[in-house]
Amino acid sequence: MRHTDAERPNPPEWEIHVMSADSSRPALLGGEPIRPQGPPDWPLGDETILDALREAYADGSWGRYHGERVARLEQQLAEMHGVEHVLTCGSGTFAVELALRACKVGAGNEVVMAAYDYVGNFLSVHAVGARPVLVDVDTENWNLAPDGLAPAIGSATRAVLVSHLHGGLVPMREIMELAGRFGVAVIEDAAQTPGARIQGRLAGTWGDVGVLSFGGSKLLTAGRGGAILTRNPATAQRARLHLQRGNHICPLSELQAAVLMPQLDRLAERNDRRLRSAEQLAQMLHGATGLIPFRNRPMQESLPAYYKMGFQYDAEAFGIGRERFVTAVRAEGIAFDEGFRALHVERSPQRWRGVAPLAQAERAHRGTLVLHHPVLLGSDEDLAQVARAVQKIRCHAPLLR
Ligand SMILES: *Cc1c(COP(=O)(O)O)cnc(C)c1O
């Protein structure tokens, strides 16, 4: 569809310089992509990983799943987080199920969780025979909103499952107070935020059980893998019993542990760099209508971690539908994606219970955009390319619709 100049909205000031500086056509319409090489790779090439692989090869541990590397990794994770018990397993999704079982969640129980969350968490609640109760999310970061908890907790509630998503942080102090008042367990899913700091504590250490993921795209990666963290010996023992039914049913291998340990050493430094990049990018995009980075409410001693950088996208204000935006920006070589599909929209109402309107989760369903993390370890120029791609698409929105 062609638009006359009269139909085209007046560009806001921040765009004007870009329009003159980069008036090239969008890659989607045959123009030159801003990043012809595409998004940066993950994982990074890294000598310390190569050394770990060589060692595992030399001593034969690459073929085993019982050995000292897994034990050493568990100990390092325990020390880093200041918890007594860490159990690794085959995936983050399985770790969530393990956490639920360790908290004695089972048939007939309910688990309160955000209506906007990783779908695997919803399925894990069902896997143990329980039912999710979905609550709304925060207006600014579309992560679980603590004020929705109290009305959702009933006599069948066994646990609250809290995920920190897309650079968002849930105020855990408030969650713990509420859960304590009602006597329900808290499972804290830190799959996207290893090493993040929330109100003075590391993510994953607030709840009765914390969950980590070592999936292929995650900040700590071994292709696959996960872990649970807990201070409670009885909780740890229940998890261990569930894992060891005759044999370890879903282990992390020695080879996976070998490549994870060097990454732990660099996590804090990399998280710090990603955080600075996210702040810088938010600055660069300041004033961009229709694309607002997730904002955490002010919390003391808190530092988010970025597996994805989340944005609230307003298609109307931006001038182009979200799916089309993603197609166009990816054609420029920038790794934006749509966020999760909200659980209350996607899943049959027989499979969950709700107690209040899920208006923000509805917005999150329609409007979440996420930027994949590797670019946040890049140069200033890499970040500027992200901003330029967004601006380019915004300028050409009428042509791209
Ligand atoms: C990735 C992820 C998990 C676990 O995923 P695995 O790929 O199974 O390791 C759990 N919760 C959230 C929020 C995640 O992003």
Residues paired with residue 247 on neighbouring β-strands, in sequence order: 245
Radius of gyration over every alpha carbon of the chain, rounded to an integer in angstroms: 22
% of the chain surpassing 90 pLDDT: 90
* Tens of pLDDT, residues 340-363: 999 999 999 999 999 999 999 999
* Tens of pLDDT, residues 179-208: 999 999 999 999 999 999 999 999 999 999
- Which residue's CA is the closest to the ligand 1 atom numbered 11? 191
Report in angstroms the alpha-carbon separations of 193 from 196, 202, 236.
5, 9, 22
The amino acid present at 239, given as its one-letter code, is: A
Yes or no: say if 364 and 116 are a contact pair by the CB < 8 Å rule: yes
**């209350």: which residue's tokens?**
344
* Tens of pLDDT, residues 214-229: 999 999 999 999 999 9
Which ranges in 82-131 belong to alpha helices (H)?
Answer: 92-102, 119-127
Tokens of 276: 């600075």
- Which residue's CA is the closest to the ligand 1 atom numbered 6? 92
Q: Is the CB of 120 under 6 A from ligand 1?
A: yes
Q: What's the pLDDT score for residue 31?
A: 96
Banded model confidence at residue 260, pLDDT cuts 50, 70, 90: very high
N- to C-terminal Cα distance for the chain? 8
Helix (H) / strand (E) containing 324:
helix 322-331
CA distance linking residue 324 with residue 347, whole number of Å: 25
CA 274 to chain centre: 14
Banded model confidence at residue 245, pLDDT cuts 50, 70, 90: confident
CA distance linking residue 68 with residue 60, whole number of Å: 12
Return the axis-axis angle of helices 380-395 and 322-331, rounded to nearest 10°.
130
Residues paired with residue 202 on neighbouring β-strands, in sequence order: 197
Q: What's the pLDDT score for residue 23?
A: 56
Banded model confidence at residue 1, pLDDT cuts 50, 70, 90: very low
Report in angstroms the alpha-carbon separations of 219 from 121, 273, 336, 379.
19, 13, 17, 18
Residue 21 pLDDT exceeds 90: no
Give 174's contacts (C-beta < 8 A, 6+ positions apart): 146
CA distance linking residue 394 with residue 140, whole number of Å: 22
Yes or no: say if 206 and 174 are a contact pair by the CB < 8 Å rule: no
* Tens of pLDDT, residues 107-141: 999 999 999 999 999 999 999 999 999 999 999 99
Q: Is the CB of 226 under 6 A from ligand 1?
A: yes
Which of 100, 116, 118, 162 should be mutated for ligand 1, with most atoms under 8 A from CB? 118
CA distance linking residue 119 with residue 122, whole number of Å: 5
Residue 235 pLDDT exceeds 80: yes
Q: What's the pLDDT score for residue 63?
A: 93
Q: What's the pLDDT score for residue 127?
A: 98
* Tens of pLDDT, residues 32-88: 999 999 999 999 989 999 999 999 999 999 998 888 999 999 999 999 999 999 999
Q: Is the CB of 189 under 6 A from ligand 1?
A: yes
**Mean pLDDT score, 142-164:** 98
Q: What's the pLDDT score for residue 5?
A: 42
Q: Is the CB of 210 under 6 A from ligand 1?
A: no
Banded model confidence at residue 19, pLDDT cuts 50, 70, 90: very low
Domains and CATH numbers, the chain: 5-43+265-400 (3.90.1150.10), 47-263 (3.40.640.10)
**């109307």: which residue's tokens?**
316
Share the mean pLDDT of the chain: 94
Q: What's the pLDDT score for residue 22?
A: 46
Q: Is the CB of 215 under 6 A from ligand 1?
A: yes
Q: What's the pLDDT score for residue 264?
A: 98
CA–centroid distance, 111 to ligand 1, in Å, is 18
Q: Is the CB of 293 under 6 A from ligand 1?
A: no
Q: What's the pLDDT score for residue 133?
A: 98
